[in-house]
């Protein structure tokens, strides 16, 4: 069996383990198909294991990405700009680590720079890097905020995440349309009520924002 690095930080996610081969992953999909009650050898399912493996490479690519590296290139020519920078309605697709069901939603990210800013696409990339992993929304929210705060060293960082959890809407209590809202406020956003209210005013009321 080939030994591959999972891309997971050992200090954050636990020890690096041997990653199964593509063949082993596809065999696992065939087993699940049989367990679900279908026949993996029938025509419609013959290529399904390969498709699922390729889909997993896309859905969980965040394990091989380093969000901190995405923020290394910054711009200092900001003409003294020291007000809030906000990127709202960043659509994300993640997966619940308890049921592996989708979490679909939007993230809103704001920060107040000191002497440098980062390209706005990098903010969206950081959200994607953390969302493309098995996640708990509360943890993902904190990861995004902490990474921005530690790498950019701004005056403050604010992150609000809204997500619809399909483990709740398509199974269990079957409550579609319910969104979960989580937030992490660091620096001045935690310390100053007016700054926090300004950010929340900019991103707007979360109600119905997922539509």
| Residue list, annotated binding site | 96, 99, 167
Distance CA 145, CA 126 (A): 10
Give the active site residues: 96-99, 137, 165, 167
Do the strands 74-75 and 85-96 form a parallel or antiparallel pair, or are they unpaired? unpaired
Q: Which residues are annotated as a binding site for Zn(2+)?
A: 96, 99, 167
Q: Residues near 60 by Cβ (< 8 Å), separated by ≥ 6?
A: 95, 132, 133, 134
**At a CB cut-off of 8 Å and minimum separation 6, what does 69 contact?**
none
CA–CA dist 141, 94 (Å, integer): 12
Phi, psi of 186 (to 5 degrees): -125, 150
Tell me which residue of 56, 35, 30 sits closest to 45, measured CA to CA.
30
- Distance separating alpha carbons of residues 147 and 107, to the nearest angstrom: 15
């Amino acid at each position: 069996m080939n030994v591959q690095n999972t891309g997971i930080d050992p200090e954050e996610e636990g020890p690096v383990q041997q990653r199964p081969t593509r063949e082993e992953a596809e065999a696992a999909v065939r087993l699940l198909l049989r367990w679900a009650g279908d026949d993996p050898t029938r025509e419609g399912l013959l290529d399904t294991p390969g498709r699922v493996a390729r889909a997993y490479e896309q859905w969980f690519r965040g394990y091989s990405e380093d969000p901190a590296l995405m923020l290394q290139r910054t711009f200092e020519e900001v003409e003294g700009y020291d007000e809030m920078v906000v990127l709202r309605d960043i659509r994300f697709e993640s997966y619940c680590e308890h049921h592996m069901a989708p979490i679909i939603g939007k993230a809103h990210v704001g920060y107040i720079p000191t002497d440098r800013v980062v390209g706005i696409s990098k903010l969206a990339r950081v959200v994607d890097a953390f969302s493309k992993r098995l996640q708990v929304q509360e943890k993902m929210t904190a990861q995004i905020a902490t990474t921005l705060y530690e790498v950019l060293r701004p005056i403050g960082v604010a992150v609000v995440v809204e997500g619809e959890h399909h483990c709740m809407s398509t199974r269990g209590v079957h409550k579609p349309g319910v969104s979960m809202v989580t937030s992490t406020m660091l620096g001045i956003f935690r310390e100053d009520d007016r700054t926090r209210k300004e950010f929340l005013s900019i991103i707007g009321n979360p109600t119905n924002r997922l539509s």
